Amino acid sequence: MNNTKTSPGLLVKFGKNWVVFFLIVLCVLFSFIGKGFFANNTINNILLSSSPALLLAVGETFVIVSGGIDLSIGFVRGMVAVISAIVMRDLYAMGYSAFLSILAGIVIGLLAGLLPGLLSGMLIAKFKVPPFIATLGMYGISNGIAYGLCSGFPIINVPQEAGRLGNGHIHYYFSGLGFSLFNRPPGMLDSQLRNLVRIFPNSILISGLIITVFGYILARTRFGQHTYAIGGNIDAARRAGINVDWHLVKIYVISSFFAALSGVLSVLIFSNGSHTQFSASLELFAVAAVVIGGASLSGGKGSIRGSFLGVLILSVLEVGFLMAGIFAFYRYIAVGSILVLAVIIEQTFPELIYD
């Protein structure tokens, strides 16, 4: 009697956490194949390489939970990167201080990034355009704008301080000089740079904070609750008096905001604003991460925690491939396959997925 009860329970428990197990398996696998997988540097690398995907995935989580999809975020990110880099470069060239130029670049970039979401949200909510079409249209439009502004070349000559901000770390450790916060230990020579231990990138701190806030919003607040309700049954949500249209507009603005944030951060990290046709593959990664994280494409299910795990899996895969000397483009095959697989698992064993 007892036996029959525990065994399906175990299976469900395993199923619900398959992402975690998969992540562990991947880590173990790569620590065998590649050397130094567990080094501090590698972990920083994983965190760093996951930061753009993570931001995009958080925005996408809101959209997917509400029952939609946003295919425009890769190009919105590129567009914002170009816009904010241009603002920084031009203001700086006009003689404004680096601080002011960077600040203006960030603010204008973020504001410009809200527009695509506002537009697709309106189209979806007010005019009942299917989400993947509205955002596919926005994909074309933001691609065109970005491409027009940069002609396919990265925008350079942004103030140097931008890079320092984006590439800074919270802690530095240098043997002999000890720990320091935010800045390199004073009195260090450039030749000693190689031995400097950097701990926890700034960009991760910023992303982490914002993501925590939005994770809280999705999980704990009425806004989050309504998002789940709309994704679960939009008519019921409407009848319950939720202003569904307005809520959906907000959701797509959130998604766009995260794309913009990731664009701005990319300028701070790489000291340039770059946009290529392959910016579009970023939404593949974001959608894949969200779905791996247990979200249902029919809406109503998903969590920031799950998406976070999804992004980690993809980043571990990327860094692991790199360290194992596997040609980088296998990543696309892996991601495409995992995306499809995750949906199949969700379709076939709905009871196994997070609820």
Partner 1 sequence: MSDENIRKSSGINREWPVLIGKSWIYLFLLGEIVVFSYYGTGFFSAKNFQNVMVNSITIMLLAAGEIFVIISGGIDLSVGFVMGFASVMSAKMMVTFYTLGWNQNLAILMGILIALLIGFLPGLLNGFLVTKMRVPPFIATFGMYGIAYGFSEIISYNVPITKLPPGVGAFGNGYLLYYLPGKLLNWFSQPVGLARAEIRELVPVIPNIFVISLLIIFIFGFILSRTRFGQHTYAIGGNIDAARRAGINVDRHLMKVYMVSSLFASLGGIMYVLRFVNGRADAGSARMLDSVVAVVIGGASLYGGTGSMVGSIIGTFIIAILETGMVNLGIPTFNKYIYVGTILIVAVLIDQLFPELVRRGD
Q: Closest separation between CB of residue 340 and partner 1, Å? A: 4
User: Among 16, 27, 104, 132, which residue interacts with partner 1 (rule: CB under 8 A)?
Assistant: 132
Q: What DSSP element (H or E) covers 171?
A: strand 169-174
Question: What SS3 state is found at 248?
Answer: helix
Closest approach, Cβ 148 to partner 1, in A, equals 4
Query: Between 48 and 77, how does the x/- string for binding to partner 1 read (CB under 8 A)?
Result: ---------------------x--------
In the list 43, 129, 205, 210, the residue contacting partner 1 (rule: CB under 8 A) is 129
Q: Among 2, 3, 4, 151, which residue interacts with partner 1 (rule: CB under 8 A)?
A: 151
In the set 19, 23, 53, 123, which binds partner 1 (CB under 8 A)?
123
Question: Using the 8-state DSSP alphabet, how is residue 70 labeled?
Answer: -
Contacts of 11 (CB under 8 A, 6+ apart): 352
Residues 333 to 352 in contact with partner 1, rule: CB under 8 A: 333-337, 339-340, 343-344, 347-348
Nearer to partner 1, 309 or 314 (CB): 314
Q: Going by C-beta distance under 8 Å and a sequence separation of 6 or more, which residues neighbour residue 299?
A: 64, 65, 66, 67, 68, 230, 231, 232
Q: Number of residues interacting with partner 1: please give it, by CB under 8 A.
A: 46
Token pair for 87: 């603002």
Contact call for residue 139 and partner 1 (CB under 8 A): yes
DSSP 325: T
Longest dimension (CA), the chain: 79
Measured between alpha carbons, how far is 227 from 221 in angstroms, rounded to an integer? 10
Q: Collapse the DSSP code of 324 into the 3-class scheme (helix H, G, I; strand E, B; otherwise coil) and give the result.
A: coil
Which residues here bind partner 1, judged by CB under 8 A? 69, 123, 127-130, 132-134, 136-141, 143-145, 147-148, 151, 277-278, 280-281, 284, 287-288, 291, 297, 327, 329-337, 339-340, 343-344, 347-348
